[in-house]
Amino acid sequence: MTTKNTANSASFGVDREALSSHIDTDFTRIVEELSNLVAIPGIAWESFDAHQLDRSAEAVAQLVRDAGMEHVDILRVPTDSGAMGGPAIVANRPARDGKPTILLYAHHDVQPPGDEELWNTKPFEATEIDGRLFGRGAADDKAGIMVHIAALRAVLAKVEEFGLGVTFFLEGEEEAGSPSFRNFLETHRDRLEADVIVVADSSNWKVGVPALTTSLRGMAGGVVEVRVLDHAVHSGMFGGPVLDAPTIAARLISTFHDEQGNVAIAGLVSNDHAEIDYPEADFRTDSSVLDSVQLAGTGKISDRLWNKPALSIIGMDVPTVAVSSNTMIPATRFKLSLRLAPGQDPAEAVEAVRVHILAQDLRGAQVTFESDESGQAFATDTSAAAAQASLWALGEAWGVPAVETGIGGSIPFISDLLEVFPAAQILVTGVEDPDSRAHSANESLHLGDFRHAILAEALLLARLNNHGL
Position 239: which residue type? G
Using CA of residue 329, residue 331, residue 337, residue 341, what is the dihedral sign?
positive
The radius of gyration of the chain from alpha carbons, rounded to an integer in Å, stands at 24
Instruction: Give CA–CA dist 305/127, Å, rounded.
Output: 31
Of residues 141, 174, 175, 404, which has the active-site annotation?
174
CB 308 within 8 A of CB 299: yes
Instruction: Give CA–CA dist 265/352, Å, rounded.
Output: 7
CB-based burial label for 359 (10 Å; 0-12, 13-18, 19+): exposed
Going by the DSSP 8-state scheme, the letter that residue 308 receives in this structure is: S
> Catalytic site residue 174?
yes
The terminus-to-terminus CA distance of the chain in angstroms comes to: 23
Identify the CA nearest to 367 among candidates 377, 380, 357.
Answer: 357
Identify the CA nearest to 136 among candidates 39, 17, 234, 273.
Answer: 39
SS3 120: coil
> Catalytic site residue 175?
no
Of residues 109, 404, 449, 457, which has the active-site annotation?
109
How many C-beta neighbours within 10 Å does residue 338 have? Answer: 28
Instruction: Give CA–CA dist 167/105, Å, rounded.
Output: 9
Catalytic site positions? 109, 174
